Structure 1
Amino acid sequence: MKPHDLAVKEIASRVRSLYSKGEPFRIYHGSTNSTRKPSLKENHVDMSRLNHVLKVDRNTRTALVEPNVPMDRLVQTTLQYGLVPPVVMEFPGITAGGGYAGTSGESSSFRHGFFDRTLNWVEMVLADGEVVKVSESERKDLFRGGAGAVGSLGVVTLVELNLLEAKEYVEVTYHRTNSSKEAIELTYELSKDPAANDLDYVDGILYNHSHGVVVTGKMVSKPLPSMPLVEFVRPNDPWYYLHAKEMTSDPTSQPYKFATTLPSYLFRYNRGTFWVARSMFRYFFFVPFNRLMRWFLDDFLRPRMAYRSLHASGQGKHIIVQDCAVPFNHAHQGKQGSPTAVAEEFLEWMNGSEKTNNIGAMNIWPLWLCPVKVDTFTAGSERGSFHPHLLRPQGATDATNDKGVMLNVGVWGIPHEETTGWRKDLDFRKLNRTLEDKVHELQGQKWLYAHTHYEKGEFADMYRSTEWYDALREKYSATSLPTVYDKVSRNNRSDTGGAYRRFKDLILETWPLGGIYGIWKGIWSFDWRLERAQSWMWKSNWREIVRQNGQKGLKEE
């Protein structure tokens, strides 16, 4: 029996045993890219060894990928065949299984949608131990419903992923904008009709009300000779968001064009964890935020180490980390108005002037703007999704196009005014709840990797989960598994845990002990080795290294 089949058989046996006893379980992957601290109290099914790319087929442009394969290793493997996944999440440690079970989009998602829409089929172990294959033609309801359901309908053990022809470089253009409105309008124009443009990537960064950058990218075999080559992967390279800010500092600047290697583009936000790693310098305010220190502390400023340290230190509750998708407009409901009115309202509400800002402290910069192609459902239909989606009124007859585009706004950081120290007097739960309420009001939805504070009824209303989701759990024997709400809601979690827990929390809340402890746990996790193992991206001859690895062939599974 092949190793993969043997591993799946053992997992199915473990799941079947727990099901027969009526015991719920959670899935253990060995790593996480969620800001929610994982629970270790329930029974666990260990999936950590399913971490291989089993096959890449150049002819069909597909790959068989186990769920714990991270993006950096997936890209390295497919590039050996001159292919690349259509949607590659920005953090190298995000896994293929996480991309399906969670909500994962990137700057190519205006064209391809969420990561799960690039899959042909998924192998899954149901909660009763049955091993099934789900796709658009087989158990379609589970294939669609399981995407974004955070493993609450079954255990993903294998996916078949579509691939694209890869080019060696990406030509990147920075378009300076001088207002939030201008940035949103340009993002909308570039993404509303992917067939009308010749772009592979669209996203944007807002640094403040008067400085934004909309970024477009196009894969090319060879860039124009006049274009400078800039990379963002090595410890001494610039942080991507700082480079974009510097190159567009002049309000009258023309679009700035340059070239970068494909791996450098795909993982451009890795160093600095977008810009969230800036918060570490605010916590340790005596450490200067300059290029020398960013080079020296590079291992700690990448997502794998950042997540590990964040969970260990307990500082995740003192930072806002949310991805919120809102409609650009309500035209999908037949309402007239500006093409970007809703998105503009959200930005003005959240980071508006002192007179218009509803909560005052929610003044977080930069913000990430990423257009995403999404489904459009009719209210009251049995279809649903935990992915952000657009909603037509019940009884609407215009169903000529079941696709639309929403704007994902990445809200990550602490209030902008706090440039030194680490504020604990802000009510971060209240800030998160207020943000959730506004997103709900605008008919948007959040990604579920982050802290979620909805009451159960609110959660069901926002994601329309009470009908289609409960029916799927019943149909596929998943009622013994924790629900999505059980997994993501902070309201289900108690902060009490005895005298030892309270003492530990007290220590972690004492500056700078919590931060030092988080760094220490990060070092001893050895996650930094995983980043250094992908040093092929750092080399000027990375293409030759990839080709040499490709000559060795894939491990047969």
Structure 2
Amino acid sequence: MPEGTAVDAERRAPGREREGTGRAAREPRAGQPAREAHQARLARVVASLRGDGAGQAAPLGLSKRTSNLFRDRAAGPKRRLDLDEFTHVLDIDPAAGWVDVEGTIRYESLVDATLPHGVMPAVVPQLKTITVGGAVAGVAIEATSFRQGLVHDTLIDFDVLLPDGSVVACAPDNAHDDLFFGFPNSYGTLGYAVRLKLKTIPVRPFVRVEHRRHAGQRAFFDDLARQCDGDADFVDGVVFSGTDLVLSAGRFVGEAPWTSDYGFERIYWRSLRERETDYLGVHDYLWRWDTDWFWCSRSLGAQNPVVRRLLGRKRLNSRFYTRVMRANARLGITRALARLRGRFTESVIQDVDIPLDRAAGFLDFLLREIGILPVWICPIRPAEGGRRFTLYPLEPGLRYVNFGFWDVVETGSPREAGHFNRLVEREVMRLGGIKSLYSDSFFTPEAFARAYSMPAYAALKARYDPDGRMLGLYEKCVLRA
């Protein structure tokens, strides 16, 4: 809908125009029939896993058409398990505040299934193609994380398919609580989540976003703390430079004088410096970053109006950009063009979490040593009084700041492999932070063991994958096996 047009809240209730679309919505919406269909799918995959020679030497891996990992992996032999059928909503209770889903449902479909009920998953990651199981086995975040924590902080219980074909139910207070707290950040090295029950939160039809500009880091981070302690429903921000920082605070509202559309010609991240206040439908707000992959579509020229129109609305999304990125990595086009100009490149695609009281220091380092801009900022606060998640041990109740920075650093002379990524890792560890493992990592085994609780991981591996049918975490995430 064009800006300046009044919007009727009842007519544009959350998700109403999309009800009945998407894979999830075409299946049984909830209840016993959906659970029976889930059990039938699970029985088939268990039989397949047990029947394909579980004792084979090749490690077990998922057969996937897409991935949101950003590290090249070795093309070694693997036994591939197909979980592509596990894309359904099994049950939803908006009043009780939960939704029960299968592990490979994408958030795009999950949002379409929950919004008609007036709720959304408590944390909706930024990209449509992220799966719920992937968001838990990895680490996922968004602008509700200042109150809800990471995706895995919103887990109620879940079922894990182990590499030997058995299925265990994990809850924070049952016999498999060690796997409940040990599964997040395990990246498919302990098993696969085939069913997950997650918290939901109520929504209203629209989100009013206030963009608060700051000329200094101290004022920005002080304001971030204030907004997190206030009544905002969403908090995130962008650093455009050391003297140009924008904090965005979003609040649900029932009516909007107009709404903005950032799904085609207009670009959301640019609007942060063009507007003080904005209104988006709740669906469009949740996917505000997907259209341009934050701002990474610049690399494809997709922010040029002519290129944008040639690509069309259907190609302006993370799904298309990911395919192009993987083709570029495979063919080495960016590296080759840089070498023709006498330049050397290193891809620095990282998300790191730093305690809030040290965030300004990390930003100083980032601007001085790495130089990537813009930088996404997202506050996180794991629930107070809770138990730490073993492999991603943020302190419960302590506020952290996620820094997301994704680009290529160019230099005029060659450096050791991973030079800039190694600088980031050392600084994160020095400041008591932690780094997500979805992209390149260069930790030594000793540093990795300290950062990610490898003695505790060894105990989990001994209990749930004693025969080593899956790769180990260091082997998969650092050695990229």
1:311 lines up with 2:326 in the alignment: yes
Q: Identity over aligned residues, as a percent?
A: 26
Cα distance in 2 between the residues matched to 1:295 and 1:29: 31
| Alpha-carbon distance change, 38 to 414 in structure 1, aligned in 2, over 3 angstroms | closer
Q: Deviations over 1:180-239 (max 9, x none)?
A: 232222212322x4xxx211100000101111100001112223x4xx421222x22x11
Selected match of 2:391 from 386, 389, 400: 386
Farther-moved stretch of structure 1 (181-190 vs 200-209): 181-190
Equivalence map 1:408-447=2 (5 Å): 408-415=402-409, 429-447=418-436
Cα distance in 2 between the residues matched to 1:32 and 1:180: 35
User: What is the TM-score with the length of structure 1 in the denominator?
Assistant: 0.72
| Alpha-carbon distance change, 388 to 213 in structure 1, aligned in 2, over 3 angstroms | farther
Alignment-mate amino acid for residue 173 of structure 1: E
CA contact (8 A) 1:319 1:428 kept: no
Q: How far off its partner does 1:301 sit? A: 4.4
List, as ranges, runs of 4+ consecutive aligned residues in structure 1 with deviation greater than 6 Å.
375-378
Q: How far off its partner does 1:179 sit? A: 1.7
Q: How far off its partner does 1:112 sit? A: 0.3
Cα distance in 1 between the residues matched to 2:139 and 2:190: 15
Equivalence map 1:368-383=2 (5 Å): 368-374=376-382
Alignment-mate amino acid for residue 348 of structure 1: D
Q: Secondary structure at the match of 1:404?
A: coil
Equivalence map 1:65-464=2 (5 Å): 65-138=101-174, 139-191=176-228, 193=229, 197-223=230-256, 225=257, 228-233=258-263, 235-236=264-265, 238-247=266-275, 256-281=276-301, 289-298=303-312, 299-314=314-329, 318-329=346-357, 342-352=358-368, 359=369, 362-374=370-382, 385-387=390-392, 389-390=394-395, 402-415=396-409, 429-464=418-453
CA contact (8 A) 2:388 2:394 kept: no
Q: How far off its partner does 1:132 sit? A: 1.4
| Alpha-carbon distance change, 425 to 46 in structure 1, aligned in 2, over 3 angstroms | same
Q: How far off its partner does 1:289 sit? A: 4.7
Q: How far off its partner does 1:363 sit? A: 0.7
Cα distance in 2 between the residues matched to 1:203 and 1:270: 15
| Alpha-carbon distance change, 292 to 109 in structure 1, aligned in 2, over 3 angstroms | same
Number of aligned positions between the proteins: 429
User: What is the TM-score with the length of structure 2 in the denominator?
Assistant: 0.83
Q: Deviations over 1:101-148 (max 9, x none)?
A: 110010100000011222211111112211111111221111111012
Alignment-mate amino acid for residue 85 of structure 1: P
Q: How far off its partner does 1:477 sit? A: 3.0
Q: Deviations over 1:221-260 (max 9, x none)?
A: 223x4xx421222x22x1111111223xxxxxxxx12211
Alignment-mate amino acid for residue 86 of structure 2: L
Alignment-mate amino acid for residue 394 of structure 2: H
CA contact (8 A) 1:173 1:215 kept: yes
Alignment-mate amino acid for residue 70 of structure 2: T
CA contact (8 A) 1:110 1:373 kept: yes
Q: Secondary structure at the match of 1:19?
A: coil
| Alpha-carbon distance change, 231 to 428 in structure 1, aligned in 2, over 3 angstroms | farther
Q: How far off its partner does 1:425 sit? A: 5.4
Q: Secondary structure at the match of 2:399?
A: strand
Cα distance in 1 between the residues matched to 2:119 and 2:141: 19
- Residue aligning to 1:545: none
Q: How far off its partner does 1:38 sit? A: 5.0
Q: How far off its partner does 1:162 sit? A: 2.0
Alignment-mate amino acid for residue 97 of structure 1: G
Farther-moved stretch of structure 1 (291-300 vs 114-123): 291-300
Q: How far off its partner does 1:22 sit? A: 5.6
Computed over aligned residues only, the root mean square deviation of the Cα atoms, in angstroms, reads: 2.5
Cα distance in 2 between the residues matched to 1:274 and 1:424: 30
Alignment-mate amino acid for residue 246 of structure 1: E
- Residue aligning to 1:536: none
